[in-house]
Amino acid sequence: MGSPIRVLHSVVNMNRGGAETFIMNVYRNIDRTKIQFDFLTCKPGVFDQEIERMGGKVQRIPYITDVGHYGYVKGLQHFFGENDYKVIHSHMDKMSGIVLREANKAGIPFRFAHIHSSGSEGNILARAYKWYSGKLLLKNATHFLACSKKAAEWIHPIGMKNTTIIKNGIDSESFTFSENTRKEVRKEFGIPHDSLVLGHVGRFSKVKNHQFLIDVFCQLSKKKENAVLFLVGDGPLRNQIEQKVLDLNVGHKVVFAGLRSDIHRLLQAFDLFLLPSKHEGLPVSVIEAQGAGLPCLISERISDEVDLNLGLIHYASLSDRNKWVEEMLRLTAGKLKRVNPRKAFLNKGYDITSSAGFLEGCYLSCSRRVI
């Protein structure tokens, strides 16, 4: 048997974001005797060591925010000049346009643009630059993938016609509810067994809308003395949110768990999953929450493609805080009955074996076409 085809994945870093978690789920489940993943990053990430243990390489160039446009392009050109890849898979949304243009110039024949969001973050200059970069996708990507129809529509004029939707699959078995794990996690974080635990998993950034989340939790906690808010993740706005929690005198009711590798365990301790995002492509966190059998209260701006038809997804408008509080009370009024979603995951294509199998076929098809 020959050497495996090496696929280069382009990301800012390999931390525990939704796209990065999805990539790692695929990496763990592909046939690594046939396909190996390498990573072009700009910053260290928590998955770096695991990648290297599985045989992948993590290489780094300076990011555009540190060296500017021309420095970033120069870094890409140098990297592609020093390395020989046949397949690149870029996960940087519209910023993939810059990456794939340089990959195209370097003669990499198969160039995947994978869209994981449905909107751009940053100030007006950052969004303008991302718009410019996004315009380069049409001429420089050979394959277009998106996590949802909403994400695909966001990259107009490419649109749905030329884009393949690939589900953000997870290892659904590892999320199956365990009463023992629920007790262990609550004990670990000092949460009383009779507490009402509202949970959120996400990066502390504007799009995840933590300010709103804290506001509605404060309203709820006035009605439910035993309410606890459990926040998993890290990011640039974490300090700001921690300060807000202190200012509102609810610090004793909010857990900041930080970056964690055991999301499948932590979800067992929750009674309700909350995601008031301003926009999303297709959030892996909501798929995982359904894997744990949790009811989910999410923003109306999130695509209904995330719903596995288990009766667990409930929407509320970001314009109505009172409605969020009402729904939080309603959804936690009775004893939580966990469902086993394994069959639904398989039927809907959200089990990781489906996603990994699809991408494996794409990569092997590319390798067979290399002359």
- pLDDT of 120 over the 80 cut: no
Number of H helices, E strands in the chain: 15, 13
**Nearest to residue 203, comparing CAs of 23, 50, 15?**
15
User: What mean pLDDT comes out for the span 294-303?
Assistant: 95
- Looking at residue 118, what is its pLDDT? 75
- Residue 208 has φ and ψ, to the nearest 5°, of -80, -15
**Per-residue pLDDT tens over the stretch 26-48:** 999 999 999 999 999 999 999 99
6-20 in b/e form (b: 16+ CB < 10 A) is bbbbbbbbbbbbbbb
Q: DSSP string of 63-114?
A: -HHHHHHHHHHHHHHHHHHH---SEEEE-SGGGHHHHHHHHHHTT-SEEEEE
**Nearest to residue 346, comparing CAs of 148, 172, 174, 147?**
172
User: What mean pLDDT comes out for the span 339-346?
Assistant: 76
**Per-residue pLDDT tens over the stretch 178-235:** 999 999 999 999 999 999 999 999 999 999 999 999 999 999 999 999 999 999 999 9
**Per-residue pLDDT tens over the stretch 247-283:** 999 999 999 999 998 999 999 999 999 999 998 888 9
The pLDDT-based confidence of 341 (bands split at 50, 70, 90) is: confident
- pLDDT of 326 over the 70 cut: yes
Contact 312, 293 (CB under 8 A): yes
Rounded CA gap, 349 and 338, in Å?
21
- pLDDT of 148 over the 90 cut: no
**Per-residue pLDDT tens over the stretch 66-80:** 999 999 999 999 999
- pLDDT of 130 over the 70 cut: yes
Q: DSSP string of 248-292?
A: TT-GGGEEEEES-S-HHHHGGG-SEEEE--S--S--HHHHHHHHT
Amino acid at 363: Y
- Looking at residue 156, what is its pLDDT? 65
- pLDDT of 354 over the 60 cut: yes
64-100 in b/e form (b: 16+ CB < 10 A) is beeeeeeebbebbeebbeeeebbbbbbbbbbbbbbbb
- pLDDT of 324 over the 70 cut: yes
Averaged pLDDT of the chain: 92
Domains of the chain: residue spans and CATH? 5-169+351-369 (3.40.50.2000), 172-348 (3.40.50.2000)
- Looking at residue 157, what is its pLDDT? 56
Rounded CA gap, 87 and 368, in Å?
12
- Looking at residue 122, what is its pLDDT? 72
- pLDDT of 370 over the 70 cut: no
